[in-house]
Structure 1
């Protein structure tokens, strides 16, 4: 009986699974941050290059 209790106690104190879950959550948060940043920068770059394109379209070459 003591061996089963010791085994159950060791299983309850095991932290490897918790660490894996923490790393998974951290990787997910980093991915969300990268996607949000790329989306924000992408919109700004689109506006910038649209403005540059409009500026060049107004130039006539003699």
Structure 2
């Protein structure tokens, strides 16, 4: 009977360990995605700013608003 209770307690403790590991894995995945977004923004930021500026100037030529 004591062995049965010990096995149940060990099973619960090992399940907690797996949840902690999966939380760490999700955290690493989110950090990787965030780092990728930062790299893409810095790499293409100037290009995107030029596209938006060009679009704004095109719209401004047809309207009274300025950029």
Q: TM-score, normalised by structure 2?
A: 0.62
3-state SS of paired residue (1:48): helix
Alpha-carbon deviation of 1:46? 1.9
Match of 2:16 in 1: 24
Alpha-carbon deviation of 1:38? 0.8
Q: How many residues align?
A: 53
Unaligned residue ranges in structure 2 (runs of 5+): 58-67
Q: CA RMSD in A?
A: 1.8
1:33 pairs with 2:25: yes
Q: Deviations over 1:8-45 (max 9, x none)?
A: xx224421111110100000000000001110111101
3-state SS of paired residue (1:58): helix
In 2, Cα distance between equivalents of 1:38 and 1:29 = 14
In 2, Cα distance between equivalents of 1:42 and 1:56 = 19
Unaligned residue ranges in structure 1 (runs of 5+): 1-9
Higher-RCO chain (CA-CA 8 Å, sequence separation at least 6): 2
Q: TM-score, normalised by structure 1?
A: 0.66
